Amino acid sequence: MAKKKILLNAFNMNCIGHINHGLWTHPRDTSAQYKTIEYWTDLAKILERGLFDGLFIADIVGVYDVYQNSIDVPLKESIQLPVNDPLLLVSAMAAVTRNLGFGLTANLTYEPPYLFARRMSTLDHLSRGRVGWNIVTGYLDSAAKAMGLTEQVEHDRRYDQADEYLQVLYKLWEGSWEDDAVLNDPAQRIYAQPGKVHKVEHHGEFYQVEGYHLCEPSPQRTPVLFQAGSSDRGLVFAGRHAECVFISGQTRAATKVQVDKVRASAVEAGRNPDDIKVFMGLNVIVGATEELAWAKHAEYLSYASAEAGVAHFAASTAIDFAAYELDEPIQYVKSNAIQSATKNLQNNDWTRRKLLEQHALGGRYITLVGSPEQVADELELWIGETGLDGFNLTRIVTPESYVDFIDLVIPELQKRGSYKTEYETGTLREKVFGTALLPAQHTGSTYRH
């Protein structure tokens, strides 16, 4: 029986400090060049050399102002601030690659669906069908206030709005233009056939839309749909809409529970359990030998900022950890922040010291350290014991973290039959799922003519 092939995204953000904070100070780190096109096109070529499935680009609207009730630490350590628009990177990266996919984060709370539909269709055309959308609803009060609201919309209510947002998008992407609407016939002077392009009429609780989708059908119509919510309401949403789900795991046993819940949510929505691919965020520090890997780990630790990591986490939970003494128990507070982040604090047995230890590398993702063989063993173990499909590989030092993984770990995985040796043909959805369009059992397909 053939081994399950591990799927792999590079996890990144259009900013300096993403997950592992403080490492921008490392002499070999180039993240301060994030404002240049070459930084991104060079990265795209590196990742395609490593046969990565995609570059998953996170985003945030707002600032991390919970810790110390200020943005002093985020500014000093560049904790996702400044942050530039992720969507504008794709055209340049698509131009220098042929196969790499692009998972783009965009917050639907602040984007009108009609214009967003055009933006994504445009990128799907320009990339020949290589884009995905990471659906987020936001969680920062700072973003809500910047966008004219008094506070963040209540957690479950945001998902109600998201459900309707997706309805509007499916109507535009899947239903407005029929497959054969475009004739492109100069002799008849007919580019598109009037009877095959339909007005979308949507009158809902959150959105009022009357109009035709401005783009002809793109290679995928609907981009590959990513989502990261693991709350009860988030899982219902994922079961209905998501094709790829991103989780954050700390132990294999707990991760298996999360993966099983995601697959159950798909079944509940009338889909197959493997209609959703599940990815976990992961740090990897690899060296030619175990000794060299741990030496690199020690070197990275000396540049990391645990406090910056805790300041980032404070915004995820809406709790100001700076208000607590080092060993004072942190009190759980219910909020509209990230539910999976606050869940770990509900027993009131966390302290600032414990959080600082957890964020020693500037972030709190699992870190694998070792030789290529040891890292490959661990990756296969995680896949085998949890049911995961793949990983979102973070950058620690950029682009060194990705180059090391590609040069050392990828050949080992390929030797074992756990990783592809060439790309499949076609769009991002075809490469990952074997079909260019949403499958029949996905709710979005029901909006087609």
Known binding residues are 59, 105, 155, 159, 230-231
Angle between helices 252-268 and 232-241 (to 10 degrees): 60
List residues forming the annotated binding site for FMN: 59, 105, 155, 159, 230-231
Which residues does residue 286 pair with via DSSP β-bridges, in sequence order? 370
Give dist(CA 256, CA 251) in Å, integer.
9
Give dist(CA 191, CA 209) in Å, integer.
25
| CB neighbour burial string for 100-132, b if at least 16 within 10 angstroms, e if fewer | bbbbbbbbbbbeebbebbebbbbbbbebbbbbb
DSSP H helical ranges for 359-397 = 372-386
Q: Which of 269, 207, 206 is nearest to 237 (CA)?
A: 269
Do the bridges between strand 277-286 and strand 367-370 make them parallel or antiparallel, or are there none, so unpaired? parallel
The pair of three-digit structure tokens given for residue 198, joined into one six-digit string: 């339909």
Tokens 């890292």 -> residue: 375
| Residue 56: partners with Cβ closer than 8 Å, 6 or more residues away | 9, 10, 11, 12, 103, 134, 226, 246, 279, 392
Give dist(CA 279, CA 47) in Å, integer.
17
Give dist(CA 428, CA 420) in Å, integer.
15
